[in-house]
Amino acid sequence: MKIALAQQNYHIGNFEKNTEKIIGAIGEAKRLGADLVVFSELCICGYPPRDFVEFEDFIAECYLAIERVAAHADGIGVIVGSPMRNDAPRGKSLFNAAWLLYEKKVRGVSHKTCLPTYDVFDEYRYFEPGYQWSTIEFKGKKIALTICEDIWNLGDNPLYRSCPMDELIKQSPDLMINISASPFDYDHDEDRVEVIRRNVLKYKLPMFYCNAVGSQTEIVFDGGSLVFDSAGNVTRGLKYFEEDFAIVELEAAFAKKSIAKDAADALVPLDKEMRVAKVNDPERIIEYLTAEGNIRQIHKALIVGIKDYFAKMGFSQAILGSSGGIDSAVTLVLACEALGKENVHAILMPSPYSTSHSVEDAETLSKNLGNPYEIIPIKNIYESFLSTLKPVFKDSPFGIAEENIQSRARGNLLMAIANKFGYILLNTSNKSELATGYGTLYGDMAGGLSVVGDLYKMQVYALARYLNLHRRVIPQNILTKAPSAELRPEQKDSDSLPSYEILDKVLYQYIEKRQGPKEIVSMGIDPVLVKRILRLVNANEYKRNQFCPIIRVSCKAFGVGRRVPIVGKYLT
Amino acid sequence: MKIALAQQNYHIGNFEKNTEKIIGAIGEAKRLGADLVVFSELCICGYPPRDFVEFEDFIAECYLAIERVAAHADGIGVIVGSPMRNDAPRGKSLFNAAWLLYEKKVRGVSHKTCLPTYDVFDEYRYFEPGYQWSTIEFKGKKIALTICEDIWNLGDNPLYRSCPMDELIKQSPDLMINISASPFDYDHDEDRVEVIRRNVLKYKLPMFYCNAVGSQTEIVFDGGSLVFDSAGNVTRGLKYFEEDFAIVELEAAFAKKSIAKDAADALVPLDKEMRVAKVNDPERIIEYLTAEGNIRQIHKALIVGIKDYFAKMGFSQAILGSSGGIDSAVTLVLACEALGKENVHAILMPSPYSTSHSVEDAETLSKNLGNPYEIIPIKNIYESFLSTLKPVFKDSPFGIAEENIQSRARGNLLMAIANKFGYILLNTSNKSELATGYGTLYGDMAGGLSVVGDLYKMQVYALARYLNLHRRVIPQNILTKAPSAELRPEQKDSDSLPSYEILDKVLYQYIEKRQGPKEIVSMGIDPVLVKRILRLVNANEYKRNQFCPIIRVSCKAFGVGRRVPIVGKYLT
């Protein structure tokens, strides 16, 4: 039996395009003589569909699309993911289902049992967990068909009390198929492969694993679909961050040698914290955050994130404020790579407090990249604000208000140009400043998409160095000068914030690892400083609440996957 | 046995203040000779604590607070809500628990079984559903102790497959106690009382129901705790929208006459759509939305929402843009009522396209209210933007970009004053414009809290008329003139939008009732118009995604309770 895996990039709610894509791959699979072709989780509607599934009209569209796809399931079996109505009187009205279509009919379905409801996932909001399990017969083989998270409970995942594969194995299946929409983070792929391998070793069956690829607003799916033989070897791996297609002989996936009993026995239970960032040694945090292997993956994810956001929103051109600092430099380089240099408009907006090198550095950067740029000084606008506000501000001293006016004048200019010419404003804030509230709402926090908002400042530097490896596009001065918002004379980030080496370490412990003040202090960091940093993080929730989507590359990004009360008083 | 109900307003994560408040009420209950005092769901940490519960440090604080409270549970039983660790190897690491403290010890606990995970609720994200049920004995009585949603499944709620009271009743309890954090919407209280009554009729036991009160960012809890006797009569009701305390004799709650069998039998299953807005008749939608009973409740909820946001954020003064339009007028009146007129700063910012009556109307309003106001024309700022942008815009015609510059200049001015003097900017957008994207990001969409963002335009008018009932504060001209953004000459809302009568009807069907295009068209509305409106709603998700918290008064507000993909393509 030949099984094809179709790793594709879907658009949520775009039924026409999704079915067209699926039908295209069915045709390809037929031409190559496949018996069965497998797609990813909820491929019919795109993942995650969120509250769209609460619309009966949306579900009806899913069913119509299933019919259209089923019409092509002649002479070939097709496994797709799509919501399924729950006709039982009890339980939520939908299942997250895998459908086997064959001979133009629905031949079998599986309901997802383990519904991820943490971080960016909300599946229990919509779906009833599966509670009945049976293998599906196809051409004389019994398939144990599961969906994504279903294989993440090997009996030792404390998040779930059910283990669907433990149920299915009782029916002596011949192979396992898992359809997934498993998102990228720079820590995740290793876990994913290990979890699949453990299933193979535990159940002694080959596994055909088909993952989604492409970005949906903030969530990047990285593909990497694969086939394991029954001895726990990867016999076929699909590309990462790209659509791909593969066809594999089932028979070849039955390993001739039996599984070394030792290998299966040697497995220790997976860390409870598998889904939490892994590094515990405080001395190694920065090394880990900036490791080249991680940065290389992050780079690919950000490119997909930018590309897909624009393509799926129907835009092609970007604008951003280019300050001569490291964050906007990295964002600009990435945007040029993702969208084409001619489609990225850099706006240099010096204020009375900008240093001369800022404009020079930003100009050199755009000359290196070859993208269009404009210099628009904000002095006149800034002064018109000050004179307009004079009757209200009177003779109060220069302060945060005046700093923010400059930042918001820039935001206004960028949005005006974006509105005039139909560009999307890319935001250039990094995770360290978002965490501490070191940014101006409606000013430098403006934008439709945040590119480096899930990278700590030290990671932005590491990414800059990585981008410069092959071709020195980012001027050295941007990499070496002290970071500054340049909103008052001689300002430096270090006036208000601790060094990024320390700050990022504390933030990582608090945000990614959910450590409390006691644990962080025990890393040897000044208790007063820890208290101050955690207070900043929690007190600035109101700002992040109004921030744009951030391309997610870590296991805990700000945004939809991190939900913290705004009026909370914890650690503030 | 005397049972006290303490209906209190907590602050999320403010363990010191919450325990102090709880201990205060225990003292009061002791003085009044109560045997038992009951508090609301998760009162120890405040509801909803959201991702704070993922911090072991936060849970440790909850346990410490339970200990502090337990020290006062001498000679009196105390029922509080707080997270509880799940020591079983399987299942999420926490339960949402009700704790009975007595003789300074934990005497019993109940785990919440039905975990709301829809709309603003995310409980399954954090908690393992209870799966073992037992009554708790106290002074010779057996208590069936449940938490909020637990009593919302009477066996016919399709959201849940477990019914905890069906389990508890097997152990022959003497009374039911339910601790809740059940939020307000203008449709909800009736359902709540009916659900409690049905429990009483089904299980033939008295019910002591203690709800939370006060606002947590966007969610308003309205209190209304009550006691039902075993015949299904309310024997004691606590206040709405205020803290309250009551003490009730248990014996008096055992009705002498038996329950009319007819009454119990006559109950038809609750509508599946109980949690969805109720009006189906399209002709009655506007009447329903603007019904005085609903508007009266909304008024109270908005006052609590403003008050608590400021108090819990530690601010006392507000600022807002007062345009002479109905939305800012209503917001201003409410803010003055909630915060005191001297604490609300109205800023009138005429643009070159403002009509003279706008400033006059806004001025009259502030004179009527007696709150401070300033007039700050934006002409100079607007012109400095245009001249600065001249080299980029060249001779392109006036358009959306120029309109938005004016709106964002206002946003910048308001934020500058807010930053200078420590005010919070109140946003004045209504639900109809948020739905259709008829607003400017970082301009009129700026602000820390949206006051009328969950009211359709027709409801804003109804609320204005209601506010004017006793004292005519809002000038008649504001109520009667045609709505306009005044960002270009002779502009009217009706240039870009259908009449609010029709718009609000369509929006209500789509947002509150999750109807699809076919159903809405079948109400007799032009299919082209329906398509256009739904497209506007879905295409503007990216704007609302950056909007501030909205005080929630309907069953489906924009914000945390409505999660729609930004790059989605559904109905756009």
Q: Nearest CA of chain A to the CA of B447: how many Å?
A: 9
Distance from the Cα of residue A370 to its chain's centroid: 29
B95-110 per-position pLDDT tens digit: 999 999 999 999 999 9
Tokens of B262: 């007819």
List residues bridging with B145 in a β-sheet. B177
Strand B344-348 relative to strand B244-249: parallel, antiparallel, unpaired?
A: unpaired
Cis ω on the peptide bond leading into residue B48 (within 30° of 0)? yes
CB atoms within 10 A of CB A313: 18
Mean pLDDT of chain A: 95
pLDDT computed for residue B372 by the predictor: 98
What is the distance between the alpha carbons of residues A153 and A133, in angstroms, rounded to a whole number?
15
What is the distance between the alpha carbons of residues B154 and B500, in angstroms, rounded to a whole number?
40
What is the distance between the alpha carbons of residues B537 and B520, in angstroms, rounded to a whole number?
14
Cα atoms found within 13 Å of the Cα of residue A310, Cβ hemisphere only: 24
B414-447 per-position pLDDT tens digit: 999 999 999 999 999 999 999 999 999 999 999 9
Here the ipTM equals 0.96
Q: Where are the domains of chain A?
A: 2-265, 291-493
Sheet with strand B136-138: strands edge to edge = B136-138, B141-147, B175-179, B207-210, B226-228, B234-237
Position B6 confidence tier, pLDDT thresholds 50, 70, 90: very high
pLDDT computed for residue B270 by the predictor: 62
Best of B18, B413, B570, B571 to disrupt the A interface (most A CBs within 10 Å) is B570
Q: What is the mean pLDDT of residues A333-357?
A: 96
Q: What is the mean pLDDT of residues B125-132?
A: 97
B325-379 per-position pLDDT tens digit: 999 999 999 999 999 999 999 999 999 999 889 999 999 999 999 999 999 999 9
User: Does A279 or B201 have the greater pLDDT score?
Assistant: B201
Residue whose token pair is 């409106």: B533
Task: Let me know if A148 is a catalytic residue.
Answer: yes
* DSSP per residue, A266-315: TPPPPPTTTTS-----GGGHHHHHT-HHHHHHHHHHHHHHHHHHHHHHT-
Residue whose token pair is 């109950």: B267
Choose the closest CB to B52 out of A377, A399, A564. Answer: A564
Position A277 confidence tier, pLDDT thresholds 50, 70, 90: low
Position B190 confidence tier, pLDDT thresholds 50, 70, 90: confident
Task: Let me know if B41 is a catalytic residue.
Answer: yes
Q: What are phi and psi of B56, to 5 degrees?
A: -55, -35
Residue whose token pair is 């506010």: B467
Strand A77-85 relative to strand A36-38: parallel, antiparallel, unpaired?
A: parallel
- Flag if B401 and A417 touch (Cβ within 8 Å): yes
Of A23, A212, A20, the C-alpha closest to A104 is: A23
Best of A406, A534, A546 to disrupt the B interface (most B CBs within 10 Å) is A546
What is the distance between the alpha carbons of residues B454 and B561, in angstroms, rounded to a whole number?
12
Three-class SS of residue A183? strand
Residue whose token pair is 């009217």: B492
Whether the per-residue pLDDT at B497 is higher than 90: the answer is no
Q: Chain B residue closest to A546 (CA)? A: B546
Choose the closest CB to B566 out of A57, A549, A569. Answer: A549
pLDDT computed for residue B192 by the predictor: 93
Residue whose token pair is 């009551």: B246
B9-56 per-position pLDDT tens digit: 999 999 999 999 999 999 999 999 999 999 999 999 999 999 999 999
CA dihedral B495, B499, B505, B509 (to 10 degrees): -10
pTM over the 0.90 mark:
yes
Tokens of A483: 């970071």
Tokens of A133: 């399990």
What is the distance between the alpha carbons of residues B112 and B98, in angstroms, rounded to a whole number?
8
pLDDT computed for residue B71 by the predictor: 98
CB B243 within 8 A of CB B211: no
Whether the per-residue pLDDT at B4 is higher than 80: the answer is yes
Whether the per-residue pLDDT at B451 is higher than 90: the answer is yes
pLDDT computed for residue A265 by the predictor: 59
Query: To 5 degrees, how large is the angle CA B370–CA B376–CA B378?
Result: 145
Whether the per-residue pLDDT at A279 is higher than 80: the answer is no
Give the CATH architecture of domain B2-265: 4-Layer Sandwich (3.60)
Residue whose token pair is 């409270």: B69
Sheet with strand B94-102: strands edge to edge = B105-111, B94-102, B77-85, B36-38, B2-7, B244-249
pLDDT computed for residue B571 by the predictor: 94
pLDDT computed for residue A496 by the predictor: 84
- Flag if B442 and A562 touch (Cβ within 8 Å): no
Q: Chain A residue closest to B14 (CA)? A: A569
A406-462 per-position pLDDT tens digit: 999 999 999 999 999 999 999 999 999 999 999 999 999 999 999 999 999 999 999
What is the distance between the alpha carbons of residues B301 and B298, in angstroms, rounded to a whole number?
5
pLDDT computed for residue A163 by the predictor: 95
Give me the catalytic one of B21, B41, B202, B403.
B41
Show residues of chain B in contact with A129, CB under 8 Å: none
Mean pLDDT of chain B: 95
Show residues of chain A in contact with B545, CB under 8 Å: 548-549
Give the CATH architecture of domain A291-493: 3-Layer(aba) Sandwich (3.40)
Sheet with strand A344-348: strands edge to edge = A373-375, A344-348, A318-321, A424-427, A449-450
Whether the per-residue pLDDT at A280 is higher than 90: the answer is no
Cα atoms found within 13 Å of the Cα of residue B232, Cβ hemisphere only: 18
Give all strands (DSSP E) within A211-271, no chain letters.
213-216, 219-222, 226-228, 234-237, 244-249
Whether the per-residue pLDDT at A274 is higher than 60: the answer is no
At A184, the amino acid letter reads F
Whether the per-residue pLDDT at B277 is higher than 80: the answer is no
What is the distance between the alpha carbons of residues B124 and B95, in angstroms, rounded to a whole number?
10
Of A438, A416, A45, A312, the C-alpha closest to B393 is: A416
What is the distance between the alpha carbons of residues B279 and B276, in angstroms, rounded to a whole number?
9
- Judge if B2-265 and B291-493 fold alike in CATH terms: no
pLDDT computed for residue A189 by the predictor: 86
Of B404, B363, B371, B364, the C-alpha closest to B385 is: B404
Choose the closest CB to B125 out of A12, A118, A378. Answer: A118
User: Does A411 or A89 have the greater pLDDT score?
Assistant: A411
For B499, residues 6+ apart whose C-beta sits below 8 A from its C-beta are none
List residues bridging with B237 in a β-sheet. B226
What is the distance between the alpha carbons of residues B406 and B486, in angstroms, rounded to a whole number?
10
Q: What is the mean pLDDT of residues B64-77?
A: 98
pLDDT computed for residue B189 by the predictor: 86
pLDDT computed for residue B239 by the predictor: 98
Show residues of chain B in contact with A128, CB under 8 Å: 161
Q: What are phi and psi of B185, to 5 degrees?
A: -145, 165
CB B309 within 8 A of CB B217: yes
What is the distance between the alpha carbons of residues A559 and A161, in angstroms, rounded to a whole number?
29
Q: What share of chain A is helix, strand, coil (3-state, %, to 5)?
A: 40, 15, 40
Residue whose token pair is 């509230």: A437
Give me the catalytic one of B43, B45, B112, B218.
B112
Residue whose token pair is 């947590």: B216
At A360, the amino acid letter reads E
Show residues of chain B in contact with A514, CB under 8 Å: 54-56
Tokens of A448: 């439709």
Task: Let me know if A112 is a catalytic residue.
Answer: yes
Whether the per-residue pLDDT at B129 is higher than 80: the answer is yes
CB A192 within 8 A of CB A199: no
- Flag if B46 and A568 touch (Cβ within 8 Å): yes
pLDDT computed for residue B470 by the predictor: 86
Show residues of chain A in contact with B124, CB under 8 Å: 117, 124-125
CB atoms within 10 A of CB A57: 18
What is the distance between the alpha carbons of residues A462 and A552, in angstroms, rounded to a whole number?
17
CB A328 within 8 A of CB A320: yes
B517-562 per-position pLDDT tens digit: 999 999 999 999 999 999 999 999 999 999 999 999 999 999 999 9
- Element at A369 (helix H, strand E): helix A356-369
Position A331 confidence tier, pLDDT thresholds 50, 70, 90: very high
Show residues of chain A in contact with B393, CB under 8 Å: 420
Choose the closest CB to A563 out of B51, B402, B441. Answer: B51
Whether the per-residue pLDDT at A258 is higher than 80: the answer is no
Alpha helix positions (H), B164-266: 164-168, 188-203, 261-265
Choose the closest CB to A420 out of B381, B396, B560. Answer: B396
